[in-house]
Each structure stands twice: as structure tokens, then as C-alpha cells.
Amino acid sequence: MVSRVIPVDPFDLVIFGGTGDLARRKILPGLFRRFCSGQMPEEAQIIGAARSEMDDAGFRDMVREAVVEFGGGQAAEEMLEQFLERVSYEAVDAKGSGGWEALKGRLRAGRVRAFYFSVAPALFGDIAERLRSFGLADDDSRVVVEKPFGKDLESARALNATLARHFDETQIYRIDHYLGKETVQNLMAVRFGNMLFEPLWNAQYVDHIQITVAETVDVSGRGGYYDTSGAMRDMVQNHLMQLLCLIAMEPPARFEPDAVRDEKLKVIRALDPVDWHHIVRGQYAADDNQPGYRAHVGDPRSTTESFVAMKVNVSNWRWAGTPFYLRTGKALKARSSEIAVIFKDAPHSIFGPEAGKHANVLAIRLQPNEGMTLKVTIKEPGPGGMRLVDVPLDMSFAEALGPDAEEVPDAYERLIMDVIRGNQTLFMRGDEVEAAWAWTDPIIEGWQQRGDVPKPYEAGSNGPEDAAMMLHRQGRKWREIKA
Ligand code: NAP
């Protein structure tokens, strides 16, 4: 299978925070890979912008190092030098007036103009305002904003209002990099491009759905930020919620930005408030070998969760009665993100009770090894009567795509190219983000009011035992967390 690369229109992309961690680890290496694939046209220009004084040559050195360190692919040195010719830098203070005229001087007429806000959200308003007042942005320009998009409904509304003062909603690209993953888009292709699954995709045939985003990393190194956020704000409100929407939404009439986003919004609005008996919060504890969460964040009394598991109900005709179980955490046993659709047992076993129960499971792996597995029941080969066994029908994208698999862009690079194309389908709309906070806020407030203390769990485990018990009480079991 050959992946086709369609070059985008010539563009000027300004990365505010061009010297920061996200730019160095994700954005710049990703752009380099798009350049190598031929998707970035000759005339494209990338301009780094931050306060640090640096000339073009200094920034190019930084970009060269970042590309080498953070995986720019196997491309030849020659390609890297050609890419760097398209990269430049301007020292700009988001809160002052220095550098803005010079930055404007670098932009060229007749190109797509995009501004990536890879800076703290507190600077979004300052940058948006100056882009307009210094005349860098017009009604066709695009702005890309990073998470976190607020820390509650009130702050998200304020951020939306700030951006709306300067840009129309059609110009604003709120990134959730989970939406840029190949598998996530494949989920829509599988659901809406095949006849096979959609008739079964409802409470009549689906017993429950599990969405797991497990990380092995702990919070050391970013404890200060994390402790003000926690798993609920950092992961559930955005990434898990987006995955839930894509699994649960009705088929949009067209694969167009607002048609898709309207359907996602309806799912969020159909979520029931979560009963506190149906949530387990956890925090990894210290052991003989390593410090725990509280040491990592420098607060011996912290009650922020590094793990959360919950049962969520989508109250609509399609899903009433089918629970969605969400689970995410740090310092877990393996790095693994997956969505699993567990179908109901066959209504009657013609093979008798000894054949056991065999539910079909469609597992969609987001990382590592993006792909899908469908567990089906067959006869165990060989003599000895009708013994049933479950086997996986496995589709690894790397294998399915063969040698072109390396060409599959990672989430960030795909999303940046979508910005240049002006396609907002995989970006969150302002009302979606607000609806997600409106559902999340009461859960967090409930914890605060009750003085809830997360359950300790062992680093490298599956999370607190209570999470397993929560499903056990409902006659179900979490899928194993494995890489
Ligand atoms: P970072 O490493 O602290 O970088 C911040 C950048 O902003 C630096 O380039 C800094 O450069 C620049 N900056 C700070 N104050 C400025 C000002 N007044 N005017 C102009 N530039 C200024 O942060 P980061 O980790 O890259 O994160 C950037 C954004 O992405 C944040 O909103 C973060 O939440 C989000 N994000 C990051 C990650 C990640 O993996 N890092 C993942 C998801 C989301 P100077 O100091 O030279 O100005």
C-alpha cells in the first residue's frame, strides 16, 4: 500500500515558543519529516519566535540538534541543511513591543499564514492582540493553541473570549494531539466506511467499552505543573473525552469539520454526571527503591490524583445501558493506550455450557504499535470434539502499510499540515472544550468538597485495587495493561 503525499500550499508558520520543549521535541522534528516526505513546498518558511536573543544561525543550530535528538527520521544530512534554509528566528516579547515589526517584515504576501502558540496559555491573549495590532494577522490567518485549554469552565470561557476578540472560530485550531493519531482517524474509517460494525455499534450488542491511556512515566520533572492539574484535567477532560466522543458519536452526514464536531458535542452533552461511587482516584506511593508522587511534586500532603478510573454513562438511544469505563494514570505497568469495544455474549450457546462464554472484542491500539485486533471465536483445531478458542484477527498498521509505514506522519506533523490546509476536523471547537469542562468541573469540585484523598498504588502496577473492584462489582474486568 503506497501512501500518497499531497504538498500543501506555500506557507509562513511562526512558532511562538520556538525555543521551548514542545517545539524542540515535537513541532520542529515533525516539520522536518514533512519536508523530507515532500509535503512541505519549496517556498515554505518556518520562523521561531521567543524572547531569547538569537540570530538565524543560532536558531538553526538549535533546530539541527533537536531534529537529530528527537527523531527527524533517517534522512540524509543534505536534507536537513535544505530544511534549515527555510528556518529563521526573531526575538519577540509576547508582553512587549520589541521584535513585532521585524517579525512582520519576515512574512510574505500571498501565502498561508499560521501562528503556533507553543507558549503558556497566559500569553495567548498578549500574542493574539499583538498579531492584530501590529498587522501580522488578517482574517485568513490561522492560530494554533496548545493544551491545557483552561483549568475549568470559567478559565476556558475566558480563553475562548480572549481569542474570539481577535480571531473568528474558523481561524482557531485547538490542538489535541490524540486526534492526529492514525488509529483515531482509522476508528472513523472503520466505523463509517464499513457496513460490518455500525449495525452492532450500540447498547443492544455492545456490553461495555474500555478506554485506557496508561503511562509508565511518573511526574518527576514536571511535578509543579502536574500537581495543579491531576489526571482528570490533564488527560480525561481532553484526550479520553475526545476518544469517547469518536467511539460514541452518531455518523455525521459528511466528513466535514462542523458536521463531525456537532456530533462530538452531542455526545459530551449526553454524558450523565458521574456518581462518586463510580470513580476511583489514585496516587502512586513511594517504595524502597523510588520516591512517590508526593516527593515528586514536593508536597507531602498533596491530594492530586495521578490515576483515575471511572464509569461513564452516555444517556441517549444508542448507548443507554452500555457503560464506558475510562482509565488513565502515571507510573503504571506499561505504556499502552487502547479503546476496547467488548461485545455481548452470543444469546445462546449451541455448543453447551462447557464451551464457555466468548465475547467478541474489537481493540483499537493507539500506542505503541498502532493497529486493531478483533477477537473472534473459532473451533480449536484438531480432533477431540467441538472445543472453542478465541483468536485475534490482527491488523498492525505497520505491517499493513509495509515499507511505507514509516511515512505515516506522527500526530503533530499531521495536525500542522491540516492547519495549513485549513481543515479543522481534527481540532476541538470552543463549545466542545467548554462542554467537556462543564462535565468535568462538578467531579473535581465534589472531590474538593468531600476532602477526597486518592488511594495509594504501587508504581509499576495496574493502579489501585479499588479500580479493579469497581469493575468486579459489575461482573466485568479491566483488560490487561500491556505494551
Ligand atoms: P517551555 O519549554 O517552557 O517553552 C516556553 C517557550 O515560550 C519558550 O520558547 C520561551 O522562550 C517562550 N516564552 C516564554 N515567555 C515568553 C514571552 N513573554 N514572549 C515570547 N516567548 C516567550 O514550554 P513547552 O513545554 O514548550 O510548552 C509550551 C506550551 O505547550 C504550553 O502551553 C504547554 O502547556 C503546552 N504543551 C507542552 C507539551 C510538552 O510536551 N512540552 C505537551 C502538550 C502541551 P523564552 O524564554 O526565550 O522567551
Ligand 1 pocket, residue 299 CB under 6 Å: no
Question: Does the C-beta of 21 come closer than 6 Å to ligand 1?
Answer: yes
Ligand 1 in reach of 19 Cβ (< 6 A):
yes
Is the Cβ atom of 222 under 6 angstroms away from ligand 1? no
User: Do 124 and 209 share a domain, yes or no?
Assistant: no
C-alpha 20 to ligand 1 mean position (Å): 5
SS (H, E, C) 42-97: CCCEEEEEECCCCCHHHHHHHHHHHHHHCCCCCCCHHHHHHHHCCEEEEECCCCCC
Q: Are residues 67 and 205 in the same domain?
A: no
In this structure, are 282 and 346 located in the same domain?
yes
Q: Would residue 78 count as lying in a domain?
A: yes
Residues 344 and 231 in one domain: yes
Q: Which of 99, 121, 146 is the last residue of a domain?
A: 146
Do 270 and 259 contact (CB within 8 A), yes or no?
A: no
CA 148 to ligand 1: nearest atom: 34
What is the CATH number for 208?
3.30.360.10
**Same domain, yes or no, for 273 and 142?**
no
The answer to the question of residue 367 being in a domain is: no
- How far apart are the CA of 93 and the centre of ligand 1, in A? 13
Residues 214 and 291 both lie in one domain: yes
C-alpha cell at 243: 476518544
Q: Output b/e per residue, 164-176; b: 16+ Cβ within 10 A.
A: eebbeeebbbbbb
Residues 103, 233 within the same domain: no
Distance from Cα 241 to the centre of ligand 1, integer Å: 25
Task: Evaluate whether 333 touches 460 at the Cβ level (below 8 Å).
Answer: yes
Strands across the sheet containing 142-145: 87-91, 45-50, 11-16, 112-117, 142-145, 172-174
Pocket of ligand 1, candidates 63, 118, 149, 163: which has the most ligand atoms within 8 Å of its Cβ, to mutate?
Answer: 118
CATH of the domain at 97: 3.40.50.720
Q: Say if ligand 1 is within 6 A of residue 119 CB.
A: yes
Beta bridge partners of 371: 365, 396
Residue 431, domain member (yes or no):
yes
Taking CA atoms only, the protein residue closest to ligand 1 atom 10 is 17
Instruction: From the CA of 117, give the closest atom in ligand 1.
Output: 29
Does the beta carbon of 93 lie inside 6 Å of ligand 1? yes
Q: Which residues form the domain of 254? A: 179-358+423-472
Domain membership flag for residue 168: no
CA angle, 129 as apex, 124 and 132 as ends, to 5°? 130
- 345 in the same domain as 434: yes
| Residue 244 in domain | yes
pTM beyond 0.85: yes
Are residues 439 and 295 both part of a single domain?
Answer: yes
Say if residue 141 is in the same domain as residue 289.
no
Integer-rounded Cα Rg, in Å, for the chain is 24
* Helix 241-248 with 430-450: angle, nearest 10 deg: 120
Residue 134: all three cell numbers together: 501590529
Residue 118 phi/psi, 5-degree rounding, is -95, 55
C-beta atoms surrounding 312 within 10 Å: 23
pLDDT at 78: 85
Burial track 409-431 (b if 16+ CB lie within 10 A, e otherwise): bbbbbbbbbbbbebebbbbbbbe
In this prediction, residue 401 carries a pLDDT of: 61
Ligand 1 center to 120 CA (angstroms): 6
Query: In a structure prediction context, what are the per-residue pLDDT tens digits for the chain, which is 483 residues long?
Result: 555 688 899 999 999 999 999 999 999 999 999 999 899 998 999 999 999 999 999 999 999 999 999 876 555 788 999 999 999 999 999 999 999 999 999 999 999 999 999 999 999 999 999 999 999 999 999 999 998 999 999 999 999 999 999 999 999 999 999 999 888 888 999 999 999 999 999 999 999 999 999 999 999 988 999 999 999 999 999 999 999 999 999 999 999 999 999 999 999 999 999 999 999 999 999 998 899 999 999 999 999 999 999 999 999 999 999 999 999 999 999 999 999 999 999 888 898 887 888 899 999 998 888 888 999 998 888 887 888 889 988 877 666 666 555 566 788 999 999 999 999 999 999 999 999 999 999 999 999 999 999 999 999 999 999 999 999 999 999 999 998
Domain shared by 323 and 428, yes or no = yes
**Shared domain check, 121 and 248:** no
End of a domain among 130, 146, 162?
146
Separation of CA 175 and ligand 1 centre (Å): 15
Of all protein residues, the one whose alpha carbon is nearest to atom 18 of ligand 1 is 94
Q: Is the CB of 95 under 6 A from ligand 1?
A: yes
Residues belonging to the active site: 239
Please tell me the distance between residue 123's alpha carbon and the centre of ligand 1 in angstroms. 10
Domain limit, last residue, from 146, 169, 199: 146
Per the structure, the count of domains in the chain is 2
- Residue having the nearest C-alpha atom to atom 7 of ligand 1: 17
- Is residue 169 in a domain? no
Asked if 462 contacts 333 with a C-beta cutoff of 8 angstroms, the reply is yes
Whether residue 334 is contained in a domain is answered as yes
**Residue 291 within any structural domain of the chain:** yes
Q: What is the arrangement of strands in the sheet containing 371-379, beginning at the earlier edge strand?
A: 388-396, 371-379, 361-367, 336-343, 206-214, 324-329, 307-312, 279-285, 455-458
Helices 56-69, 28-37: axis angle to 10 degrees equals 80
pLDDT on residue 385: 81
